[in-house]
A = this chain, B = another copy of it.
Amino acid sequence: MDHGTRAEPRERLSRDTVLRAAVALADEYGIARLSMRSLAEVLGVVPMALYKHVANKDDLLDGMLDVIVGEIDPPVEEREWRDVIRRRVLSARRVLRRHRWARRVLETRTAMTPGVLAYTDSFIGMFLERGFPVDLTHHVMHAIGSRMWGFTQELFDDPEADPAQAAADAVPDQAALQQMAMRYPNVLRVAMASTHDDGVVGRGCDDQFEFEFALDLLLDGIGDRHARGWTSARPGADR
């Protein structure tokens, strides 16, 4: 009974199986109970084995986000920008509700992982392809970013969120930039537009402006509802 496929031939791990197991574990017991040790245990492996597939715990968390961002539905075919955006955001929300820990983790991280970038790029594309100017798209992304998790919010800003590691990602080298340009053209266009002079990707994005833009969007809407005597017409009794 130990020829061919053995009873339990100790399946090899892969980055993907590790990440998926981590997501499942966090889904079931909450992010607080996800440790390298507990994860290793459910995988039937010693903790240090995981480090052959993820660089460290932060990398694990980034990877987990990358996995779930892949669960967001692709944009529907639709001429109306509003419907397209709305559906996508609601799909993202569904994902975040399926993985309750994700919001928390997102807040901690400035992801920039391939999956997140791809999603962001696609999201920006939904606007650009439907005639939104780059300029407006940029602000809109900021405005939608936070609650709605249209994307990951801190993509371009906050050079020194953590006082120490400021210089870490300092200047992206030319090669990396070219990679970006090819893979994430929409991200790049928007990033470029937020610069006021030459072509450098630099810090052209005014945080305070973005904030007030989003705030005024909301205040306009609120004023409108108020003026129209809006009321939530939810049925009385059940549900």
Contacts and interface: CB of A to CB of B under 8 A. Distances in A.
Given A161-B100, A220-B224, A222-B143, A89 B136 contact: no
A223 interface: yes
Contacts of A103: 107
Interface string A159-176: 001111000000000000
At the interface, is chain A mostly helix, strand, loop or mixed? helix
Contacts of A132: 226
Interface in A180-231: 196-197, 206, 209, 211-226, 230-231
B220 A234 contact: no
Interface of A: 28-30, 32, 81-82, 85-86, 89-90, 93, 100, 103-104, 107-108, 132-133, 135-136, 139-140, 143-144, 146-148, 161-164, 196-197, 206, 209, 211-226, 230-232, 234, 236-237
